[in-house]
Structure formats: C-alpha cells, structure tokens
Amino acid sequence: MVVATSRSTEVGFETVIGLEVHAQLLTQSKMYCGCSARYADAPPNTHVCPVCLGLPGALPVLNKAALEFGILTGLALECRIPAFNKLDRKNYVYPDLPKGYQISQYDLPLCVDGVLEFRSGGDVRRAGITRVHVEEDTGRLVHRVDELGVEVSLVDLNRSGVPLMEIVGEPDLCSPEEARDYLIALRQTLRYIGSSTGNMEEGAFRCDANVSTRSTDGSILGAKVEIKNMNSFRAVERALRFEERRQRDVLVAGGSVVQETRGWIEDRGVTAAQRTKEQAHDYRYFPEPDLPPLEVTTKLVEAVGARLPELPGLRRERFVLAYGLGASEASLLTAEREVADLFEEVVGPSPRPEEARTAANWIVNDLLGLQRQRGLPPDTLPLNSSQLRDLLNAVAAGELTVRAAKEVLPQIEDDELPRAAAARLNLLSMDDDAALRVAVAETLGAFPAAVSDYRTGKTAAIGRLIGETIKRTGGRAKPDQVRRLLEEALTSP
Ligand SMILES: [Zn+2]
C-alpha cells in the first residue's frame, strides 16, 4: 500500500462496495433430495433424509426447478447463460454442515456478466452482476440454556440442502445508501419473477458486503473487508456507514486497513473483527463427482425466458406513460407485482386518465394505508379487484360519497362487495329530496346567523350550511344536491 506523505490536509476518500446475496429459491423440494423445502414452523430434524443428513453413500439428484429459477434470475439480471456449467464441492468443517462440504459452483457458474438497474437518490444507476450460481443451504445451530442451566448448541438440519442462489455483484456501489437501494431493487426483481420471497428477517435473503476505501488521488488503497450478519436493509445501511467511517479514520491516522471478516453487532451499532478472510484455495474446491456437468440448451433458456414477466423498472415507466401517473405513485404501485396487477385489473386496458388516477389514489393512499395498519404482507391488499372496482363504481355513480366510501372501506368483510357493506352499515348516499329537505330545515334552524348573512348578500355563507347539512346526514348527502335544496329554501319567501 502506498502511504501519503503528508496528513496535514484531509485527503478525499471514496468507498467501494460490492454485495453478495444468498437467496432461498421458492422450490417445493430441496436442492439434491426430495425433502420438502418448506420447513418453517416444522419441528427440528423432521424434513431430512440420508442425502441432506450427509449419510455416507447417499447420492444427490439435482432439482430441475432450482436450476430453472437460477436461469430465470440470470435472465432478469441480463446475464449470459453459458452452455455448460458444473457443480463443485466447497470443503469446510462446521457443525451445521453434516457432509463436511457444500455442493456449490466455482469456476463455471450458471449465469455470468449481468447488470441490475436501480434508482438511488433520484438517479438511475447500473451495477454489474458478476455471477449467479446455485448451491445448497446449511443446517442451523440453535444456542440455548437447557433444563440444567448448561449452555448447549443444537443442530437442526431442516434447512440443510434447501436450494440457494448466490448473486455476486461487481464492486460498483459507492455509498451505503446506494448499497441499500441496490438490495431493494434486487429483492423486488426476485419477488417479481417469483424465484424467492426475498424475506430478509426470515433469512431467505442474506447479504454480505465487501467494503474498501481509496483516496480520490489514488495514493491510498485500503484492503477489502467483508461484513456479515446484517439482517435488514436498515442494518446493511448502518453497518456500511459505520465501516466507511472506521476505514477512513484508520487511513487518516496513517494506519492500514486489515483484510478480514467483520460481523455487524446490531445492538452496539458496530462491526467487530471475526477472522481473517478465507481465500478460495482454503476451500479446496473440486468438481462434484456425484453429479454430472450441466448442459444448458438454448431451448431450455428460451422456455424459461418465456416465463419472465415485465420487470418492475419497465412496468413503472409504462405506468407513467400509459396511465399518466406521477413517478412516485407509479413506484408505489409497482413495488409489488400483486399490487400492480390489481391496479391493472381494476382499470382495464385503456382507462381515461382521471379513472386511472382515481384508482391509483385509492390504492396508494387508502388500501396501502389499511394494509400497513393491519400488518398485512406487502403483496396482500385488503380488497380484491372486484371489490375495489365495485367501490370505485359506486363512488363514480354517486351511490357512495367519497367520505362514506372511506368510512365503509375498513368495515368491508372478506369477499363482501363495498355496496353491500355500505347498505349493511346504512352508508349508501341519501339522494331522496324529501329526506334531505328535513336535514336542510334543521340546519337553517340551527344556524340563523349564516342564514341572514346569505340573505343579505353574503352568499359565501352557503358553504358553511352545505357542510353542516352533510354532517347531519352522516356524510351520505352529495354536495351538489344539498346546495340546490339549500338555495331553494333560502330564496323561498
Ligand atoms: Zn433430504
């Protein structure tokens, strides 16, 4: 490393970040055996067989669906899919790895040379994807204190052999915010194509980061540090911000950054050294002798490519152009494929711009608001498309006022149509002149000052009277009709 000769002036620094993401694939069964890969909530060691227990003599068989999900992901990330790839043994010793090796991919991965386009700080950015390869997950260690007060570590192998893909990004990211935005876009892409839930808290989407620091004049180049244990987008951003500061402080003080692996300690808000980083040769990779190399035919790539949906970035742009929506509205609507689908089902192929905007407003402001309030998953809205269409039609036809519709919304029961809910709750519009005249007469009696203001030429006073009359109907009266009836009553002798 070249060390700058003078520290009297603060040198400018740049941060270089590359991310490695492990995502669980949404297959039914495990990577190399027939055990169910849906092990959440299952008692420990119940989703296991000789293959994923690593018993001697058990032979692996490759899961075709996992391979296809890997290819689908590669295509979504604009990767090249080489005609040949192979599986390799990655050897290391750990209690959650019963075979003593992981079947992964080393020098010939499934997908290479891709790119992820994402938005960060209002700009469109592109970061390279080095490779996407498939591998198997390890088991899990559970640390706890037993009945005798002894600290024990237990092994649960339900996760052993669950299909994973590793998505290795180029070191193209230059700030913690950019790293977070890259991850959000990557997760969104995986959810759109259905290859992974991308759930970080449940460990289905795990991220390690390689961070280094260099001076802008090129005189200082710090070593690469790997950061692990970041379990949320927020943790990634915080850990990288801490690490960026730490490395700059070390370099400014004239020290050198050590190449090592550091763990993020969430509750202390720091990274701490764990071990010096392994080199690839430490793993003694060699071709997996129990599985043949894989040939990926053009036919297979084309068949998988036919399953590729419209990706979120393009869909967001189309929503702006085709429906005249604002950029932020379009982003919110397309963040989850299911929400974007619902919007398009409700508005149909060629809505008028105001219809599209009204539907978008209801989804963005009201349905997503209610979704958060109820703690529903991000892809689940509180209404289905026929319910939302019924609600919008009722408002457009004047059968529900906007105010009444907002009152009905949280009270709609499963599969109940909003009009039926409004009738049940007595919230359908009041459009009967006779009934409204009663409310008008009550209002006039209760606000004599506003009445005399109006009659002496201060006609703006009618605004107050309209509001008060609507209030008397519980929000069920339409303003135009109330205005007409008020004017009739106020001008009659
Ligand atoms: Zn198994």
Q: Is the pLDDT of residue 98 over 90?
A: yes
Q: Residue 229's pLDDT is what?
A: 87
Which band of pLDDT confidence, cut at 50, 70 and 90, is reported for residue 278? Answer: low
Which band of pLDDT confidence, cut at 50, 70 and 90, is reported for residue 221? Answer: confident
**Phi, psi torsion values for 259, nearest 5 degrees:** -75, 115
Ligand 1: centre distance to CA 421 (Å): 49
391-441, pLDDT tens digit by residue? 999 999 888 989 889 999 999 999 899 999 999 988 888 877 888 888 899
Rounded Cα–Cα distance for residues 58 and 56 (Å): 6
Q: Is the pLDDT of residue 7 over 50?
A: no
Percent of the chain surpassing pLDDT 90: 78
Q: Which two tokens stand for residue 228?
A: 């692990």
Name the burial class of residue 464, with classes exposed (0-12), middle (13-18) and buried (19+) by CB atoms within 10 angstroms of its CB. Answer: middle
226, 261 Cβ separation under 8 angstroms? yes
Rounded Cα–Cα distance for residues 214 and 247 (Å): 10
Which band of pLDDT confidence, cut at 50, 70 and 90, is reported for residue 8? Answer: very low
- Where are the domains positioned within the chain? 13-298, 312-424, 433-491
Q: Is the pLDDT of residue 270 over 90?
A: yes
Rounded Cα–Cα distance for residues 311 and 194 (Å): 11
Residue 106, amino acid: Y
Ligand 1: centre distance to CA 57 (Å): 14
Rounded Cα–Cα distance for residues 52 and 85 (Å): 23
329-384, pLDDT tens digit by residue? 999 999 999 999 999 999 998 899 999 999 999 999 999 999 999 999 999 999 99
Cα-Cα-Cα-Cα dihedral sign, residues 80, 85, 87, 92: negative
Which band of pLDDT confidence, cut at 50, 70 and 90, is reported for residue 479? Answer: confident
Q: Residue 6's pLDDT is what?
A: 44
Ligand 1: centre distance to CA 53 (Å): 7
Which band of pLDDT confidence, cut at 50, 70 and 90, is reported for residue 1? Answer: very low
Ligand 1: centre distance to CA 90 (Å): 19
Mean pLDDT in residue range 82-87: 97
116-143, pLDDT tens digit by residue? 999 998 899 999 999 999 999 999 999 9
Ligand 1: centre distance to CA 188 (Å): 30
Of 326, 391, 405, nearest in space to 360 by CA: 326
289-312, pLDDT tens digit by residue? 999 999 999 999 999 999 999 999
Q: Residue 11's pLDDT is what?
A: 67
Query: Whole-model pTM?
Result: 0.85
Of 139, 132, 144, 143, nearest in space to 170 by CA: 132
Ligand 1: centre distance to CA 160 (Å): 8
Q: Is the pLDDT of residue 318 over 60?
A: yes
Ligand 1: centre distance to CA 103 (Å): 14
Per the prediction, the chain carries an average pLDDT of 92
Ligand 1: centre distance to CA 232 (Å): 29
Give domain 433-491's CATH number out of 2.60.40.10, 3.10.580.20, 1.10.10.410, 3.90.1150.10.
Answer: 1.10.10.410
Mean pLDDT in residue range 69-92: 97
Ligand 1: centre distance to CA 162 (Å): 9
Q: What would the DSSP string read from start to end of 149-160?
A: S-EEEEEE-SST
* 3-class secondary structure, 211: strand
* Ranges assigned E (strand) in 105-197: 111-120, 123-136, 140-145, 151-156, 163-169
145-187, pLDDT tens digit by residue? 999 999 999 999 999 999 999 999 999 999 999 999 999 999 9
Ligand 1: centre distance to CA 168 (Å): 27
